[in-house]
Amino acid sequence: MKEDDHFLLISDGDIYQVDQSGQPTGRHKNITSNPYWTSVVKKYDNTTGHPYFIITERSVFQSSNKQFTIKAYRPGEGVGAQSSFADSLGSPSYRSLPMIETADNEYVYFGQDFFRKITYTPGSGFEEKWAYPLQFRATAAIQHGNQFIVGNPSGNIIAID
């Protein structure tokens, strides 16, 4: 992901910031391999201008894949707010839990049981605005106008209004 004069490289457990010549200029490492990160979004505090990250994680253990957790991580301060949400995520080998940022600090997550809109407010934390049944193992999602186009591992695609 390109940002100004540097790039963010995000894996399932690391965030690297590199300059245009490829030299690392910053790194944050997940301290454990469980849970692993499914998405990371870099944001900036409206008051201070300091960066923070919205990190979504899930367990690598099949028996623990009944929820996902969203955290607000601030470099130098650690995790501020965090919330967990129930869903059947299935095998960790599936790329699952796609997330779309729909507006500033509004995110739509696509699990297997539900798709839900979650907002983040720095002073209040995470709040679920709505959740609707999905019953579809989502592995990819995009927004097209007012619809979400969601795909599964079998190549099936659905559109959601």
- Whether 119 and 131 have beta carbons less than 8 Å apart is answered as no
Question: 55 and 111 share a domain?
Answer: yes
- The torsion angles phi and psi of 62, rounded to 5 degrees, stand at -55, -45
Exposed, middle or buried, 48 (CB in 10 Å: 0-12/13-18/19+)? exposed
Please write the tens of the pLDDT for every residue from 33-85. Answer: 557 778 888 898 888 998 898 988 887 665 666 888 999 988 888 888 999 99
**Domain boundaries, position 74:** 35-135
Residue 153 lies in a domain: no
Q: What share of the chain has pLDDT > 90, as a percent?
A: 34
Look at strands 157-160 and 106-110 and give their pairing.
Answer: unpaired
Residue 141 lies in a domain: no
- This prediction has a pTM of 0.81
Mean pLDDT estimate for the chain: 83
- Whether 80 and 72 have beta carbons less than 8 Å apart is answered as yes
Question: 116 and 130 share a domain?
Answer: yes
Question: 24 and 99 share a domain?
Answer: no
Instruction: Please state the rounded mean pLDDT for residues 102-131.
Output: 93
Residue 86 lies in a domain: yes
Output the CA angle 118-120-121, nearest 5 degrees: 145
Q: Which of 67, 60, 62 is nearest to 30 (CA)?
A: 60
pLDDT interval class at 2 (50, 70, 90): low
Please write the tens of the pLDDT for every residue from 96-106. Answer: 688 999 988 89
